Amino acid sequence: MSSGANFKQEPHRLLVIPGPIEVADDVLYANAHPSMSHVSAEFIPVLGDCIRMTRDVLLTSTGQPFIISGSGTLGWDQVASNLVEPGEDVLVLNTGYFGDSFAECLQTYGAKVDQITAEVGGVVSQADIESALKSKKYKIVTFTHVDTSTGVLSDAKAIAETVKKVSPDTLTVVDGVCSVASEEIRFDDWGIDVVLTASQKGLGTPPGLSILVASQKAIKVYENRKTPPNSYYASWKKWLPIMQAYEKGSPAYFATPPVNLIYAFHAALTRITKGSPSLSERLKLHREASQKVKAAGKELGLKQVPLDEKFAANGMSAFYFPEGVTGPDVLPRLFKKDVIVAAGLHKAMKEKYFRVGHMGISVVDEQRGDIDKVIASMKEAIEEAIQSKKL
């Protein structure tokens, strides 16, 4: 059987939306693994390793990973159906589109949701979080680490600290779909209870995996429920024994795992946790790439959606178009230059801005030249768009 060392994916347009992102050749090749039984002796340790390496990405020694077929959204369902019981109070810190959706998911399962909504491009202040936590006993507090609709990065460490200080029984739940592996997350040190993510963003794997890590404290909260989880497929009652079995090296079955995708995830996690550059070096490369893209935007006179550089994400950028220029003026021009960026998503201003992802191999494998290509194409496309409006 070929090792895949010579495998190279076909030439294609550069995908720099905030996920799915570009996938390395070895990751894509791993996805082409011959069919395997999900309970075979060869496959069991592959998922077992993925569980262990997921811990390494989040810097946790005791967190319990769940790796389940689904997209990032399934992480919300897992939280809503395993950690909250109908009628319990939940606080959602909302910094954009994904806060709205997480709140809606929680309500679907019967949670009573209060929200603190930041202004567009802003973050929720620690003082507001503190006073909300003092006013009511919340089962969980959720926030979006990077809201992909605004490019706003919330201060996960400070939020977790505030929750622990003001309401120590409340669980801190992080939507890290657009931050895991591109932003710093110290799960144990910061005292986070849940990080949920997906395969296709910073983790550089094709879409299709819901990845979630729960603290032992969160597992206790789940175990002490008075009512059973109110989901079937997302129930930890089903999945926890499966994850534990695979990690121990024994077969178990609840629902068939996406075997090939788990081979791909294994290859991606191996790069991130055991490869060169190291995880901390990777995060530094993301910060540097981000500064480069943001500086280029500034030079073009583009205003960023985040109101302050201090809370702008490192794995993506969101820029307003120049006055008089719109998405249809810019995005097709970028497409013609073989660069695919994302349109706006925030409902308040969808047409007014665009989003560029700078995550994974596009950042870490500097030989690819992706970031330089993005910057050069962005410059040409914006300048051409402005020119076209003058004529």
Ligand X SMILES: *Cc1c(COP(=O)(O)O)cnc(C)c1O
Judged by CB under 6 A, the residue of 23, 46, 91, 178 near ligand X is: 178
The reply on whether position 123 binds ligand X by CB under 6 A is no
Judged by CB under 6 A, the residue of 73, 107, 117, 326 near ligand X is: 73
Size of site (CB under 6 A) for ligand X: 12
Judged by CB under 6 A, the residue of 48, 63, 65, 72 near ligand X is: 72
Lookup result for tokens 């990077």: 146
Q: How many CB atoms lie within 10 A of CB 226?
A: 5
What is the pattern of x (binds ligand X, CB under 6 A) and - over residues 270-299?
Answer: ------------------------------
Where is 298: in which H helix or E strand? helix 279-299
Residues 20-53: b if buried by 16+ CB within 10 A, e if exposed: bbbbbebbbbbbebeeeebeeeebbebbbbbbeb
What is the pattern of x (binds ligand X, CB under 6 A) and - over residues 128-167?
Answer: ----------------x--xx-------------------
Among the residue ranges 4-12, 68-76, 225-233, 370-378, the one whose residues contact ligand X (CB under 6 A): 68-76
CB of 168 to ligand X, least distance (A): 26
What sign does the CA torsion over 301, 306, 307, 309 have? negative
The DSSP code for 59 is T
The reply on whether position 206 binds ligand X by CB under 6 A is no
CB of 33 to ligand X, least distance (A): 22
Among the residue ranges 8-16, 150-158, 174-182, 277-285, the one whose residues contact ligand X (CB under 6 A): 174-182
Q: β-strands 89-94, 140-144: how paired?
A: parallel
In the complex with ligand X, which residue's Cβ is closer, 81 or 144?
Answer: 144
The reply on whether position 357 binds ligand X by CB under 6 A is no
Judged by CB under 6 A, the residue of 17, 80, 90, 198 near ligand X is: 198
The reply on whether position 80 binds ligand X by CB under 6 A is no
Do residues 313 and 178 lie in contact, with contact meaning Cβ atoms separated by under 8 Å? yes
Judged by CB under 6 A, the residue of 79, 124, 133, 177 near ligand X is: 177
Compute the distance between CA of residue 317 and CA of residue 324 in angstroms, rounded to an integer.
Answer: 21
Give long-range contacts, CB 8 A cutoff, 24+ apart: 54-57: 54/211, 54/213, 54/269, 55/213, 56/269, 56/273, 56/279, 57/180, 57/181, 57/203, 57/269, 57/272, 57/273, 57/279
For ligand X, the binding residues (CB under 6 A) are 19, 71-73, 98, 144, 147-148, 175, 177-178, 198
